[in-house]
Structure 1
Amino acid sequence: MFGAVLIALAGGAAVGMSRSLNGRLTMDRGPFTASAWNHWVGFLLLSVYIAFLHRTGLPLLAETPFFYLTGGVIGAVFVVISSHVFPRIGAARSGLLIIGGQMITGLLIDLLRGTAQFHVGQLAGVALILVGIYLTRYTR
């Protein structure tokens, strides 16, 4: 489990660095162009990985339920939004708002799926994130 925690932390660091770099590209080229480049480069990298290292080939789209592909649309919207806000409100505020949105959405999804096992720690965590967002936004 410790390894998974380290990988998750590295993933969070990668998101922060990626959003910062895309924010700089957004300032030069705009959020949609930055998002397009982000996804093209990611597509090429993953295509090379699948073709040469993973060797399973790409599954046919006909074999994939359409609903599963909407994650790519949501991911593209996320990249555009975060590329737009990072240079305007900063990495710390953007990160807190993104994490806060993820926590709240995750809890709502669990609630709607009937898999929620709420306890005081989860609610306190969301409350602390919201307080952190308030403090970074309205205090100097």
Structure 2
Amino acid sequence: MIGAVAIALLGGAAVGMSRSINGRLTMTQGPFVASVWNHAIGFLLLSLYILFIHRVGLPLLAETPAFYFFGGIIGAFFVAISSYVFPRLGAARSGLLIIGGQMITGLLIDYLRGTAEFHVGQPAGVALILLGIYLTRFSR
């Protein structure tokens, strides 16, 4: 459990650094060019990893339902949006808004799928997220 938490924190740090770098690229090239570079380099590195380490080739694509590829579309949308907002809102505000959106959406998905049991802490947590977003937006 502690290892997974550490990896998740490392992943969050990587997202923050990636968004910051892509935000700088966005200022000169635009959010879509920054997103293309992000995905092109990521695709290249992950493709090499899959081909040479896991030894999985194109048959994997044939076995994957088409619906699962929508995750890539959503991911590209996320990178483009993040690249756009980071240089305009700053890392702290952008990060909080993005994480707030992720947490609220995660709760909604859990409820819609029926995988989460309701307890009073959940709406309280969402209220605190919204309060934090409000405070970072309007505080000086």
The reply to whether TM is greater than 0.5 is yes
Q: What RMSD over aligned residues (CA atoms) do the two structures have, in Å?
A: 1.1
Q: Is the 8 A contact 1:50 1:58 kept in 2?
A: no
CA distance in 1, matches of 2:89, 2:132: 14
> Residue deviations 1:37-94, cap 9 Å, x none?
0000000000111111222334443321111000000000000001000000011111
Q: CA deviation at 1:128?
A: 1.4
CA distance in 1, matches of 2:60, 2:11: 28
Q: CA deviation at 1:119?
A: 1.9
* Structure 2 SS opposite 1:54: coil
Return the TM-score normalized by structure 2.
Answer: 0.95
Range moving further from structure 2, 120-129 or 63-72:
120-129
CA distance in 2, matches of 1:61, 1:20: 32
Range moving further from structure 2, 59-68 or 11-20:
59-68
Superposed, 1:1-140 pairs within 5 Å as 1-140=1-140
CA distance in 1, matches of 2:94, 2:4: 24
- Provide structure 1 residue ranges, at least 5 long, that are not aligned to the other structure: none
Q: CA deviation at 1:115?
A: 1.3
* Structure 2 SS opposite 1:79: helix
Return the TM-score normalized by structure 1.
Answer: 0.95
CA distance in 2, matches of 1:20, 1:59: 36
Q: Is the 8 A contact 1:23 1:83 kept in 2?
A: yes
Q: Which runs of 4+ in 1 moved over 6 A?
A: none
Amino acid in the other structure paired with 1:69: F
CA distance in 1, matches of 2:28, 2:89: 17
